[in-house]
Structure 1
């Protein structure tokens, strides 16, 4: 199954293709400035019934060196199958498009990054016929950005850095830096960044930290994550209102009732319970579907 971090690690290049040249410092390799970008189909399937797809594929135009194809692969763990598929991607694309191919692998942990960086050879040990050398970005070479001014200088790079450092012990400081850096940023710019970071954190503990920061520092945005957080807040408010109404009417509230109400995350159900709380004679009646005719 494709995970949220996997999607964030490669889709960020679709949103910010200029990242490829901005990674020169992290990679220790001078890459040409991007002057044009054209999405290319990621489907590399041939006539045989074996589906092959890369994560992101872009045709990058440069001013002096001509165009090249950028293959971005998001790698969450070691995968022996890549030993065969990555060289295939490179040779197939070069043969089909007759353009140089750059394979960039994005990782979130040191072990996977070290594994992905190994040259992949096809041929005899004493004479490799084809060698594929992935470029790898991850926590080993991406900057840890905890300075707001530095983050604001290059928000796409800071976003990718935050994603690759999702497991960093200082991730809370990294995320706080990003939330502050985005406060005065136009919503059209900040919105995608908010979502990419949320995706990149997946189900880690830091994901809740990011949600809290978005709720406090970026509450004025209307990104999908911001709206989701606001909906949750409204649901929590209505859940508390159910208990307040019951208590104000002198109806005893058991611990079981309190737990069931506060743990419900369905706003429609909570709304029904709130209506019933105004006329129920016992707390349990707000859950009674048959008594109130709600089947």
Structure 2
């Protein structure tokens, strides 16, 4: 399982390496050449044994203009030591492989993004022997995708949007269209992306909403994260607690989607004690346009 937002931000590029070049082209408007092939490489840049240098993600992009190394760093906070490490990474890679390295920094924090975007200049004031200019992806430039159709057009970019904006109050706005967009891709890939998003949502309310939305999608239960959720449910104890959680989830999904819930619908949901029936209603709640559609097939 993905264990942290830091790790998840890099696993998403291993899942879809071309996402990184798309982000450079569409988000930062950098004219990076279209890659023919992208491969993940060993992230260990240790040259002298006592000194370890390890990047977060290292990708090799083959293009018509040549080969590039994409050095991806996830930065949670300002760390002045990186302004020494990053030039080392780039110089080492160029010296060893004679390929052009490109430094890309990803962060969920606006202040960290502004710090990371500052050029690193080594030398004296009027003559810089080395200048490093990181490309930065963060909340200020990664689009906040809240439209379902836009999310469907590029699901992994929508996932990156959710992961990058995971700390902001607007995080919940992208969860519903992203959940719908995940239904349009193959279940195995969707299950992996579900976990990436779950790991990067640092707001407990947003994470809970995401998990409840995901319980309404059957493929979610094929993923290890689902076993974690089920285990948490078992720890709560009684079957009645599970049924009550199902009832609340159905009503919350409708409320989050701004669908009015009449008293008779609310009463019928709260009166049900059948877990299978409640599961069916939960799945319908994700796509319903009217609360009464929960019971449509029964009429």
Output the TM-score relative to the length of structure 1.
0.76
User: Which deviates more from structure 2 when the two are superposed, residues 159-168 or residues 180-189?
Assistant: 180-189
- 2:280 matched residue in structure 1: none
- 1:75 matched residue in structure 2: 75
- 2:253 matched residue in structure 1: none
* 1:42 and 2:43 aligned: yes
3-state SS of the aligned residue for 2:74? strand
Q: What's the CA shift string for 1:91-111, capped at 9, x where partnerless?
A: 111111100001110010110
User: Which deviates more from structure 2 when the two are superposed, residues 94-103 or residues 193-202?
Assistant: 193-202
**Paired residues for 1:13-28 under 5 Å:** 13-23=13-23, 24-28=25-29
Q: What's the CA shift string for 1:206-262, capped at 9, x where partnerless?
A: 222211221234565411112222333344354758xxxxxxxxxxxxxxxxxxxxx
* 1:106 and 2:102 aligned: no
Q: Are 1:4 and 1:202, in contact at CA under 8 Å, matched by a contact in 2?
A: no
Change (3 A) 1:75 1:102: same
Q: Are 1:71 and 1:104, in contact at CA under 8 Å, matched by a contact in 2?
A: yes
Unaligned runs of 5+ in 1: 242-295
- 1:211 matched residue in structure 2: 211
Q: Are 2:145 and 2:151, in contact at CA under 8 Å, matched by a contact in 1?
A: yes
3-state SS of the aligned residue for 2:215? helix
Deviation at 1:168? 2.4
Alpha-carbon distance in 2 for matches of 1:220, 1:129:
52
Alpha-carbon distance in 2 for matches of 1:218, 1:197:
17
Alpha-carbon distance in 1 for matches of 2:205, 2:5:
13
Alpha-carbon distance in 2 for matches of 1:194, 1:135:
27
Alpha-carbon distance in 1 for matches of 2:19, 2:223:
22
Output the TM-score relative to the length of structure 2.
0.75
- 1:59 matched residue in structure 2: 60
Q: Are 1:219 and 1:226, in contact at CA under 8 Å, matched by a contact in 2?
A: no
- 1:194 matched residue in structure 2: 194
3-state SS of the aligned residue for 2:26? helix
Which structure has the greater CA radius of gyration? Answer: 1
Deviation at 1:131? 0.5
User: Which deviates more from structure 2 when the two are superposed, residues 127-136 or residues 166-175?
Assistant: 166-175
Q: Are 1:69 and 1:102, in contact at CA under 8 Å, matched by a contact in 2?
A: yes
Q: Are 1:3 and 1:202, in contact at CA under 8 Å, matched by a contact in 2?
A: no
Alpha-carbon distance in 2 for matches of 1:218, 1:77:
37
Alpha-carbon distance in 2 for matches of 1:167, 1:202:
6
Deviation at 1:196? 0.8
Change (3 A) 1:203 1:165: closer
Q: Are 2:166 and 2:203, in contact at CA under 8 Å, matched by a contact in 1?
A: no
- 2:227 matched residue in structure 1: 227
**Paired residues for 1:252-267 under 5 Å:** none
3-state SS of the aligned residue for 1:191? helix
Question: Pairwise CA RMSD of aligned residues?
Answer: 2.0
Change (3 A) 1:220 1:158: closer
3-state SS of the aligned residue for 1:92? helix
* 1:115 and 2:100 aligned: no
Change (3 A) 1:19 1:155: same
- 1:255 matched residue in structure 2: none
Q: What's the CA shift string for 1:23-64, capped at 9, x where partnerless?
A: 1121021222222122221111122411110000111111x1
3-state SS of the aligned residue for 1:216? coil
Q: Are 2:187 and 2:219, in contact at CA under 8 Å, matched by a contact in 1?
A: no
Change (3 A) 1:219 1:229: farther
